[in-house]
C-alpha cells in the first residue's frame, strides 16, 4: 500500500528517497531474519541484502529508468525472504495447534520460543506458552465423541491451546477455561457450576499440558474451577489424560 502511494511520487526527491529507504530497510530486515537460520539456504541472505541495496539505488534514479523494471525489482527483493519462508512452510509436514512459518530455529519456534539472543537463552525471561496437551489417545477420542450431540460442550479443559487439541481430534466443541493461556477469568466458578448443573458439559479433561493439573499462574477463576472439579468428581485415566465425568459426582 505504501509503495502504491509513493510510486506516483517517485520523480520527487522526497518520494524517491522514501521509496529507496523502504526497499533498503526491507532488505536489511529480511537479511536479519534469514541470519537466524544460517544453515538454511545460506546464500539467500546475502543475495537479498545486496540485491535490495542495488534496487534502492535504482529507485533513487527511478525518474530516469524504466518504471516497470524498477518496480519489479523492488517487489522481487521485498518478497524474496517471505516467499522462501512460504515455500519451506508448504513443503514441510506440520502438525499440532501452533503452525509456524519458515525453517525451525535452534531455540524453538513461534509462540513456544523463549527469549533469545543469537540462539542463547536469556536468564530471567518467562515463557508465556509452554506446550499443549499431547495428542489424545484413540480411547479418549472415542469417549469424548460418544453421546457428544447431547451436550453443548462434550468436554472442558484449561486454555484454548489444550482445547484445540481435543477439538481437532474429535471435531466437537470443547470449552477453553481461562481463554488463550488460562489467565482470563472466564467462565467463573459459579458460571461453570451452572453449566454442569444443566448438564451442558460432559467431561473435564486434565491432559497434562500447560495449566492442566497445575493451575498456578492462571486466573483465580480457573484455579477455583479445577479445585472444585477435583474435589467433587472422580478421576479416571483414559490414555494419558485424567478425565472427570461431570454428570456423576463422587
For residue 206, the cross-strand partners are 242
pLDDT for the residue numbered 199: 96
Tell me the mean pLDDT in the region 205-210: 68
Q: Which residues contact 170 (CB under 8 A, 6 or more apart)?
A: 136, 141, 144, 145, 148, 154, 155
pLDDT for the residue numbered 9: 84
pLDDT for the residue numbered 133: 67
Q: Of 64-78, 112-126, 189-203, give the range with the top mean pLDDT.
A: 189-203
Length of the chain equals 250
The DSSP element (H or E) to which 227 belongs, if any, is: helix 220-232
The helix/strand/coil state of 221 is helix
pLDDT for the residue numbered 216: 46
Say if residue 30's pLDDT is above 50: yes
pLDDT for the residue numbered 2: 75
Cell 524474496, located at residue: 80
Among 36, 1, 190, 223, smallest CA distance to 113 is for: 36
Q: Please state, in angstroms and as integers, the Cα–Cα distance from residue 153 to each residue in 78, 144, 166, 212, 233, following that order.
A: 46, 10, 11, 18, 17
pLDDT for the residue numbered 64: 74
Rg (CA), the chain: 26
Say if residue 210's pLDDT is above 50: no
Q: Which residues contact 190 (CB under 8 A, 6 or more apart)?
A: none
Say if residue 128's pLDDT is above 50: no
Amino acid at each position: 500500500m505504501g509503495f502504491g502511494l509513493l510510486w506516483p511520487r517517485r520523480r520527487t526527491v522526497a518520494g524517491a528517497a522514501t521509496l529507496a529507504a523502504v526497499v533498503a530497510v526491507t532488505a536489511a530486515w529480511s537479511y536479519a531474519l534469514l541470519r537466524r537460520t544460517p544453515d538454511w539456504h545460506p546464500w539467500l541472505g546475502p543475495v537479498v541484502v545486496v540485491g535490495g541495496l542495488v534496487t534502492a539505488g535504482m529507485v533513487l534514479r527511478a525518474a530516469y529508468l524504466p518504471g516497470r523494471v524498477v518496480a519489479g525489482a523492488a517487489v522481487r527483493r521485498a518478497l524474496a525472504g517471505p516467499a522462501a519462508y512460504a515455500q519451506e512452510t508448504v513443503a514441510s509436514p506440520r502438525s499440532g495447534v501452533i503452525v509456524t512459518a519458515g525453517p525451525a530455529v535452534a531455540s524453538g519456534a513461534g509462540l513456544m520460543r523463549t527469549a533469545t539472543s543469537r540462539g542463547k537463552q536469556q536468564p530471567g525471561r518467562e515463557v508465556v506458552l509452554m506446550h499443549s496437551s499431547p495428542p489424545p489417545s484413540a480411547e479418549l477420542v472415542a469417549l469424548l465423541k460418544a453421546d457428544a450431540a447431547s451436550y453443548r460442550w462434550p468436554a472442558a479443559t484449561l486454555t484454548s491451546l489444550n482445547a484445540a487439541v481435543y477439538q481437532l481430534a474429535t471435531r466437537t466443541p470443547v470449552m477453553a477455561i481461562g481463554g488463550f493461556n488460562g489467565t482470563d477469568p472466564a467462565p467463573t466458578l459459579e458460571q461453570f457450576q451452572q453449566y454442569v448443573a444443566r448438564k451442558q458439559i460432559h467431561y473435564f479433561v486434565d491432559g497434562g499440558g500447560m495449566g492442566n493439573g497445575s493451575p498456578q499462574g492462571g486466573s483465580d477463576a480457573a484455579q477455583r474451577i479445577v479445585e472444585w472439579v477435583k474435589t467433587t468428581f472422580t478421576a479416571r485415566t483414559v490414555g494419558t489424560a485424567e478425565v472427570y465425568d461431570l454428570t456423576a459426582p463422587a
